[in-house]
Amino acid sequence: MSAPTPLKRRKGGMTPIEPFVSTTNACKMCKPLGACLAFLGIEGCVPFLHGSQGCATYMRRYVISHFREPVDIASSSLGEKQAIHGGGPNLKLGLLNVMKKYGATCIGVATTCLTETIGDDVSMLLHEFRKEFGDLPLPALVHVSTPSYGGTQAEGYQAALRAVVDQLAGSEAATSQVNVLPNFVSCEDLRHLADVFDHFGLDAALLPDYSERLDGGAQEDYVKIMPGGTPVARIRTMGGARATIELGRTLDPAKSAGGLLAERFGVPLHSLGLPIGLRETDAFFDTLCTLAGRPTPRRYELARGRLVDAYVDGHKYLSGKTAVVYGEEDLVVGLCAFLAEIGITPVIAASGGESGRLSCAVKAVTDGLLRQEPEVREGVDFYEIAARARELKPDLVIGNSKGYRVLAKELGIPMLRVGFPIHDRFGAQRVQHLCYAGTQALYDSIVNTVIDKKQTDSDVGYGYI
């Protein structure tokens, strides 16, 4: 592991004081949570945490509060005995139970801090399991090592995707499929991406795709595993795809699924930023045009036109405003790209993640548009973000719910909720962020947030603003 960036407390401007050892109000979650989310995007897949019960229950609760859908995360439920003697027997018993009772066609095993520390060799245990129970119809078994002391949920998400591709994809015959690795985006974003590829006539294999499992319809019966998700068969053929599009500017191909597909199977990799804002979306659509060999469908040309028109119509409400932006690194980069376009300076761009790539990525997407460079903070907690925000007095808070009380409420500034988790608003699964449509939705929300503040703060009772 690379040495963690020392956390600097700053007081009175930019003078760094004593590095802080503890974390107060974390702006991150733990690695296995990300892995579970990725596994939930595979058809028939049950995420399985190898560790003690508490972690699984906490993560379920966390995910459920965002998506408002049933989320099952199994656990090997290690107790004291197993923690000392090894969790192998519990892991196997747990896998059998999940197979039998859930009818899982895929099980994604993620380790936790406990099992990493006691040194369980999950790869070997799964090998034994396959041998011992080879007579049964076994599900696809995937495992990923996710000690949370080695990264955040974002790394866990990417590690799980890489593990899935590593362990399932084969060098099948060439297909017309385009692998799409969309990053951790909302269910609505996933649906929109699927539409976009459809309209381009491209055969997209979206991985993961939890859009149906985590935002599905009402059911008559309890469905053990909600329908939807990337079929395992589609993952198996990823090695023969004509291209991979991987979204996220801070991803390292050496650790990403797209990188592995390129390395092992020679699938050409198109690394792009999350398509948020005009330019990142243009870049995304350009890539699609090239792949599809056709121009952007008219409906998206129109959407783009409306977006530029809206940028103009609303510019005066926003020009010169400042914002604090935080969350997963790739999302922060996307938001900065967008904010820079509409005249809002992201004075603080922060993340609990520590990829080491955030600064460079933010600079790349904001260069030439901002008069003041954003202060980029990696590996920070909300305590630090708030301390800095108190000094910089931004006009807007943009990020997940966790910043509400300690930032927005504390500083008395309006907040726009994006990303994950959104625990204090309705419809988190359907928040749009991506492409022209998502950017339009974000843009309208931001303008309205600013107007709402102006209207509420004024005694006049403006009916036109």
Partner 1 sequence: MKPAIFEQRSKQIVQKREGDEFSIACNRDSLAGAVSQRACVFCGSRVVLYPIADALHLVHGPIGCAAYTWDIRGALSSGPELHRLSFSTDLREKDVIFGGEKKLEAALLELIAQHKPNAAFVYSTCIVGIIGDDVGAICKKVSAATGIPVIPVQSEGFKGNKRAGYEAACRAMMQLVGTGDTSGISPLSINILGDFNLAGEIWIIKEYYERMGIEVVATITGDGRVGDLARCHGAALNVVQCSGATMDLAKMMQEKFGVPVIRASYFGIEDMSKALYDVARHFQDKDPGIMARTAALVKEELSVLLPRLAELRKDLEGKKAAVYVGGAFKAFSLVKCFRHLGMKVVVVGSQTGTEEDYKELAAITDEGTIIVDDSNPLELARFVKDLDVDIFVGGVKERPIAYKLGVGFCDHNHERKEALEGFVGMINFAEEVHRTVMSPVWRFTPRRRGSLQPVTALDAAACASTVSPEPAKEAAS
| Contact positions with ligand SF4 (CB under 6 A) in 323-352 | none
Residue 272 DSSP SS3: strand
Question: Of residues 402, 419, 442, 449, which one binds partner 1 by CB under 8 A?
Answer: 402
Phi-psi region of 229 (alpha: psi -120 to 50; beta: other; left: phi over 0): left
If binding means CB under 6 A, how many residues of this protein chain bind ligand SF4? 10
Angle at 437 between CA 431 and CA 443, to 5 degrees: 70
Q: Is 1 in the site for partner 1 (CB under 8 A)?
A: yes
Q: Is 403 in the site for ligand SF4 (CB under 6 A)?
A: no
In angstroms, give the least distance from the CB of 73 to ligand SF4.
11
Q: Is 101 in the site for partner 1 (CB under 8 A)?
A: yes
Q: Is 64 in the site for partner 1 (CB under 8 A)?
A: yes
Instruction: Work out what residue 167 binds among ligand SF4, partner 1, none; the CB cut-off runs from 5 to 8 Å by kind.
Output: none
| CA distances (Å), origin 426, targets 7, 41, 395 | 34, 22, 23
Q: Is 30 in the site for ligand SF4 (CB under 6 A)?
A: yes
Spatial distance between the Cα atoms of 465 and 455, rounded to a whole number of angstroms: 8
Closer by beta carbon to ligand SF4, 27 or else 437:
27
In angstroms, give the least distance from the CB of 84 to ligand SF4.
15
Which residues 148-167 are close enough to bind ligand SF4 by CB under 6 A?
148
Instruction: Give the side-chain half-sphere CA count within 13 A for 90.
Output: 22
Closer by beta carbon to ligand SF4, 6 or else 54:
54
Instruction: Work out what residue 189 binds among partner 1, ligand SF4, none; the CB cut-off runs from 5 to 8 Å by kind.
Output: none
Question: Judged by CB under 6 A, which stretch of 9-17, 49-57, 221-229, 312-320 contacts ligand SF4?
Answer: 49-57
Which stretch of DSSP H or E encloses residue 47?
A: strand 45-50
Which residues 53-72 are close enough to bind ligand SF4 by CB under 6 A?
54-55, 58
Question: Of residues 12, 15, 21, 464, which one binds partner 1 by CB under 8 A?
Answer: 21
Rg (CA), the chain: 22
* Pairing relationship of beta strands 16-19 and 8-10 according to DSSP bridges: antiparallel
Phi-psi region of 277 (alpha: psi -120 to 50; beta: other; left: phi over 0): left
Rounded to 5 degrees, φ, ψ at 6 are -65, 135
With tokens 């995007």, the residue in question is 41
Interface positions with ligand SF4 (CB under 6 A): 30, 32, 52, 54-55, 58, 112-114, 148
